[in-house]
Structure 1
Amino acid sequence: MPHIALGNDAPGILSLFAYRPETARPMNELAEILLRGPSTLTRGARELIAAYVSSLNDCDFCASSHSAFAAAQLPEGMELVDRVRADLEGAPIPEKLRALLRVAGAVQASGQDVRPEDIAAARAAGATDLELHDTVLIAAAFCMFNRYVDGLATTVPDNPADYEAVAKVIVEGGYQAL
């Protein structure tokens, strides 16, 4: 049960967006730019970063949502997403993505945990400055989104099909469609 009366039955961040649409707009715009805007990282990879950070933060709603969004945009689907969330080092992903996910994991713990070696490893694997920038910002933004969702104790659907349905909306219409 949410900590405040939201006046709607929507789950997770959707309930918060309905409660305060004026704050939803800039948050959706940021998500749209970071996760769907022009980038050399695929949309699936960027959603995977969001899912990974949300998993590290134990935010069930965001981890489940962005896992579904990533799976819908990655050829390997949910099997790959689950493997990355369970074992980053053993997951069958390109080294550049693994290095970026390590950077995102460091940001999740603390921005000050990102070490020069982490950045150097990502660069050595082919990451650009823009990809590093966006990875750090995705991780930081999802720390905020995760704390927003969990800090107000929003509801969390149990059925994976609920997340898959929203994934279709995101893939087809983007975050502005929410």
Structure 2
Amino acid sequence: MPHIDLENDAPGIFSLFAYRPETAGPMTELAETLLRGPSTLSRGERELIATYVSDLNGCEFCASSHAAFAAAQLPEGGRLAAQFRADPDAAAVSGKLKALLRVAEAVQRGGPQVRPDDIQAARDAGATDLELHDTVLIAAAFCMYNRYVDGLGTTVPDDPAAYEAAAELIVNHGYTAVTRASG
């Protein structure tokens, strides 16, 4: 049960966006830019970064949501997303993505935890400065999103179909559609 009366029954961050649409707009625009905007990282790869950080933060709603969003946008689909959540180090992702995940993990622990050798390892694996920038910002943003969702005790669906339905909305219409649907 949420810690405050959100005046709606939507799960997770969707309930928070419906409760306070004036903050939802900038938050969904940031997610749209980071996870769906132009990038040399695929949308699915960026969703995996969001999933990873959310898992590290223990945010079940966001980790499950973004794993579903990744599954819907990766050629390997749900199989890779499930493998990734179970064991990111053993998942069949590129060396570059694995190196970027190490950077994201350091950000999740705290910005000063990102060391020059983390950055160099990602560069050695082929990461560009833009990919490093976006990885750090995705990780930082998801620390905020995760704490927002869990800090207000939002509800978490048990049914995987709820995450698949949200994935369909996000994949087909983008993150800003969430604020249009909830506002």
TM-score by shorter chain over 0.5: yes
Aligned-residue Cα RMSD (Å) equals: 0.7
Say yes or no: does 1:115 pair with 2:115. yes
Displacement of 1:85? 2.2
Displacement of 1:90? 1.6
Matches within 5 A, 1:90-129: 90-129=90-129
1:171 is matched by which residue type in structure 2?
V
What secondary structure sits across from 1:91 in the alignment?
coil
How many percent identity over aligned positions?
A: 74
What's 2:142 paired with? 142
What secondary structure sits across from 1:47 in the alignment?
helix
Say yes or no: does 1:49 pair with 2:25. no
Displacement of 1:86? 2.4
Unpaired stretches in structure 1, ≥5 consecutive residues: none
Displacement of 1:91? 1.5
What's 1:155 paired with? 155
Following the alignment from structure 1 to structure 2, what is the Cα–Cα distance between the partners of residues 143 and 113? 14
Say yes or no: does 1:166 pair with 2:166. yes
Displacement of 1:84? 2.0
2:128 is matched by which residue type in structure 1?
T
Q: 1:77-135 CA distances to partner (integer Å, 9 max, x unpaired)?
A: 12212222222222211100110011111111111111111100100011000000000
Number of corresponding residues? 178
1:71 is matched by which residue type in structure 2?
A
Displacement of 1:61? 0.4
Following the alignment from structure 1 to structure 2, what is the Cα–Cα distance between the partners of residues 14 and 82? 23
Superposition TM-score, scaled by structure 1 size: 0.98
Matches within 5 A, 1:6-25: 6-25=6-25
Matches within 5 A, 1:25-104: 25-104=25-104
2:175 is matched by which residue type in structure 1?
Y
Superposition TM-score, scaled by structure 2 size: 0.95
